[in-house]
Amino acid sequence: MTKKAEAKTYRSEIAGAVHEMISGAHEAGVVSLETLRSFDKACLAPIPVIEGAEIRALRERERVSQPVFAAYFNVSRNLVSDWERNVKRPGGPALRLLSIVQRKGLQAIA
């Protein structure tokens, strides 16, 4: 079975080359998962934090309600409301999806 390639953002071109090399070494069984994770931290660019006002502006830019926006992210309307009011912060997959929507629009994850 073929692994689906995922787009990664690196701190630099050199960091990307090093990370790809270490990933290959991990797949070959030469590098441990712990070592690979330390290279992830060193080479991958961090995802910027998105504030509540930015999330609301993003949703309004896309002209969708909170329930519709929530459906795209597979979360509840209440959670979207909490994000917008800075009661809770999106993390993990939701934060990645928000950054994609911020750059490319809601249709990019539809």
* Long-range contact pairs involving 63-68 (C-beta distance under 8 Å, separation at least 24): 64/106
Q: Into how many domains does the chain fold?
A: 2
Would residue 17 be called left, alpha or beta, if left means φ above 0 and alpha means ψ between -120 and 50 degrees? alpha
- Predicted structure pTM score: 0.63
d(CA 76, CA 94): 12
Mean pLDDT per block of 10 residues along the chain (110 residues) reads 53 89 94 90 83 96 96 95 96 89 91
57, 104: one domain: yes
User: pLDDT value at position 42?
Assistant: 87
Cα 4-7-13 angle, rounded to 5 deg = 130
CATH code assigned at 75: 1.10.260.40
- Does 3 reside within a domain? no
**Which structural domain, as residue segments, surrounds residue 80?**
52-109
28 vs 40: CA distance, rounded Å: 17
Residues 83-106: tens digit of each pLDDT: 999 999 998 889 989 989 999 999
- pLDDT at position 5: 38
Task: Give yes or no: residues 61 and 28 share one domain.
Answer: no
